[in-house]
Amino acid sequence: MTTTTTHLHDISKSRANEWLNGAIDEDSKKQIKALLSREDPKQLIDSFYQTLEFGTGGLRGLMGVGSNCINKYTIGAATQGLANYLKKSFAGQTIQVAIAHDSRNNSRQLAEVTAHVFSANGIIVHLFPELRPTPLLSFAIRYLKCQSGVVITASHNPKEYNGYKAYWNDGAQLVPPHDKNVIKEVNAITSFDQVKFTPDSTKIKAIGPEVEEAYYSMVQELIPRKESIKRQSKTSIVYTSLHGAGITMVPECLKRLGFENITVVEEQKIPDGNFPTIDSPNPEERSAMDMALKKATLINADLVMATDPDTDRVGIGIRNAHNEFFLLNGNQALSLMMWFILKNLKETGDRYIAKTIVTSDFIDRMAEQMGVECINTLTGFKYIAELIRDNEGKKKFIAAGEESYGYMVGDFVRDKDAVSACAFFAAMGAAAKDEGHSLYAWMVDMYREFGLYKEGLVNLVRTGAAGAQQIKYMMERFRSNPPHVIAGQKVIRVLDYQTSIERNLLNGHERTIQLPKSDVLQFQTWEGAKISVRPSGTEPKIKFYISVNLRLSNPKNFELAMEHLDEKIKAIEKDLIR
């Protein structure tokens, strides 16, 4: 073993023995003993080399035994830490929390563990009686006037994962200082004897249907062009929940808006944490949407939509100029949504939209020309929610989104919301059809007006402790020795969000980046390309976001121009990842 591996092995053995001597069940002890007896220490190290921390999406990891895995003990400790912090933050108040879960294996059990620990700490728990989308949990926190909330989910991760998203009283995921303070409270728990697992059932209440009804009412108020939906109520929509929680709300929401021709993919309708019909429950991947696309082609549908297991992301399929289905990427879908929303705004003064720094700059450009401010945040909807909170009473929030298929319209939910996003995309499809156009034609017109942008994303997966070290090394290398030329394009600007410094390589000038520190690097070229590099906060990946653009003077050249931009993206990929 290398020196690093030996060190991690020693740490892991020490933690594993601490668990063996702690108050855990016999089955968990048996699993730990099996890990300790293995000749190859890799799984032991991966299970125990660190304690899970909150990232951009909360607590997330592989299900299994160990400090670095999702199990009843790490969930219990996280909940005890959060309970301790809530009691300090809201001393003297009656504290309430809301809890939801998705369709993943063990999600209900872990949601009940979470409810038990909160109730044992004297906290009133509002628990959804069955799986529900994450955005409804965010809405419920504010509706029920809770101080916090938790949803058990690993979003779009593979089936082996689960997670724990913690929310504050505004319905948003934890941001500094709350996230770090909760971790301090968790780290202060040195024994599982300190975790109160024995529930007080008198403090656990089932959430009733009135919360869902209130949510549907809010969506109804936000949707523009309702007269188009009435005239185009037969618009054919194919929807799949990918075995997730979306089936409980998305079809019902669409029906309430007046859509009468909704086809649900039956084979993927039943919630199932094994996701038996797909390799990965991620609507960003075409394979996840294959079944829905085949169904849409068969019945000659107008629109395809797929949501991930906890229903905070949505993938969209529309027909192109050849009447064939293709999938919008997250930047295209968000750009089209923002264009539709801004076109239908009655006034623009003191209003703003938001996006993340790795999301297409096309949206900044469009918003500026349409007279609406566009504010950029770090990656993660918790930062967008923080922005909304900071601007309450000052500016009117319109909508937000990020390239990873997350969208939010209005501020009644403070997280990505695929339920209302599905409603908006359906309304857009009906409005385009009502005008005798298609969403594809609208998209081409949009790019002709504001410039054609195309984005690519490269994910390098590096798993386990060794993978984490490799990702760290790659970021250090890019930071200490940044490229001066990428695919023949001269780099003119480097933005390092960890040091908060932006450097202009043409004149040597530096300026301070006015955002919290984050492990993100961006390189901008003379030709207008932008490359962002960051480790994922929720998955064992390092991500490369590539954006290129050109002016589209003739809509007839759209497909040719897109091919040209694809070639540019491939050249940049090849140069960066050697």
Distance CA 187, CA 253 (A): 42
Q: State residue 54's pLDDT score.
A: 65
Separation CA 126–CA 129 (nearest Å): 9
d(CA 461, CA 438): 37
Alpha-helix runs per DSSP H in 392-463: 418-434, 439-450
For residues 6-20, average pLDDT:
91
Catalytic residue list contains 155: yes
φ and ψ at residue 263, rounded to 5 degrees: -110, 120
Say yes or no: do domains 50-212 and 232-450 share a fold: yes
* Structure confidence at residue 82 (pLDDT): 95
Compare 41 and 84 and report the one with higher pLDDT.
84
**Which is the catalytic residue, given 67, 155, 360, 536?**
155
Q: What is 43-77 written as a DSSP string?
A: HHHHHHSS----BTTBEEEEBSSSTTSBSHHHHHH
Q: Inform me whether the pLDDT recorded for 578 exceeds 90.
A: no
Q: What is the pLDDT of residues 178-206, one digit of tens each?
A: 888 888 898 898 889 999 999 999 999 99
**Angle CA(153)–CA(156)–CA(158) in degrees, nearest 5?**
95
The answer to whether residue 145 scores a pLDDT higher than 70 is yes
Write down the pLDDT at residue 221. 94
Give the mean pLDDT of the chain: 94
The two structure tokens encoding residue 516: 């919290």
Q: Which two tokens stand for residue 328?
A: 């919008």
Other C-beta atoms closer than 10 Å to the C-beta of 520 total: 23
Contact 104, 273 (CB under 8 A): yes
- Domain 50-212 in this protein, CATH class: alpha beta
Structure tokens at 77: 């400790």
Tokens for 149? 């909330």
Distances from the Cα of 529 to the Cαs of 6, 481, 526, 567, in angstroms? 43, 19, 7, 13
Domain boundaries, the chain: 1-46, 50-212, 232-450, 453-576
Residue 464 neighbours by CB distance under 10 Å: 18
DSSP state of 158: -
Topology annotation, domain 453-576: TATA-Binding Protein (3.30.310)
Using alpha carbons only, what angle is made at residue 244 by residues 242 and 245, rounded to the nearest 5 degrees? 140
DSSP 339-393: HHHHHT-S--TTEEEEEETTS-THHHHHHHHTT-EEEEE-SSHHHHHHHHHHHTT
- How many angstroms separate the CA atoms of 166 and 380, rounded? 13
Instruction: Indicate the pLDDT class of residue 55, thresholds 50, 70 and 90.
Output: low
Q: How many CB atoms lie within 10 A of CB 398?
A: 21
Using CB atoms within 10 A of its CB, is residue 420 exposed (0-12), middle (13-18) or buried (19+)? Answer: buried
Provide the pLDDT confidence category of residue 215 given band limits of 50, 70 and 90: very high
If we measure between CA atoms, which residue out of 334, 329, 236 comes closest to residue 283? 329
Where is average pLDDT lowest: 244-258, 343-357, 376-390, 492-506? 343-357
Is the separation of the CB atoms in 98 and 141 below 8 Å?
Answer: yes
Task: Provide CB contacts within 8 A for 192, sequence distance 6+.
Answer: 22, 23, 24, 73, 76, 77
The DSSP element (H or E) to which 90 belongs, if any, is none
Confidence (pLDDT) at 202: 98
Whether residue 464 is predicted with pLDDT greater than 90 in this model: the reply is: no
pLDDT in tens, 465-479: 888 899 999 999 999
Residue type, 108: R
Question: What average pLDDT does this structure show over 537-561?
Answer: 92
Contacts of 450 (CB under 8 A, 6+ apart): 362, 365, 366, 369
Mean pLDDT across 124-143:
98
Report the distance separating Cα 428 and Cα 366, nearest Å: 18
How far is CA 428 from its chain centroid? 23
- Residues 55 and 501: their CA atoms lie apart, in Å, by 23
Domain 232-450 indexed as CATH 3.40.120.10: yes
460 CB-contact burial (10 Å; exposed 0-12 / middle 13-18 / buried 19+): middle
pLDDT digits (tens, 9 = 90+) for 85-117: 999 999 999 999 999 999 999 999 999 999 999
- State how far the Cα of 568 lies from the Cα of 572, in Å rounded to an integer: 6
Q: Is it the case that residue 56 has pLDDT exceeding 60?
A: no
Mean of pLDDT values over 301-327: 97
The percent of residues above 90 in pLDDT, for the chain, comes to: 88
- Helices 439-450 and 558-576 pack at an angle, to 10 degrees, of 70
Least confident stretch, 57-66, 85-94, 115-124, 319-328: 57-66
Cβ(247)–Cβ(222) under 8 Å?
Answer: no
- Residue 460 has φ and ψ, to the nearest 5°, of -100, 115
pLDDT value, residue 57? 58
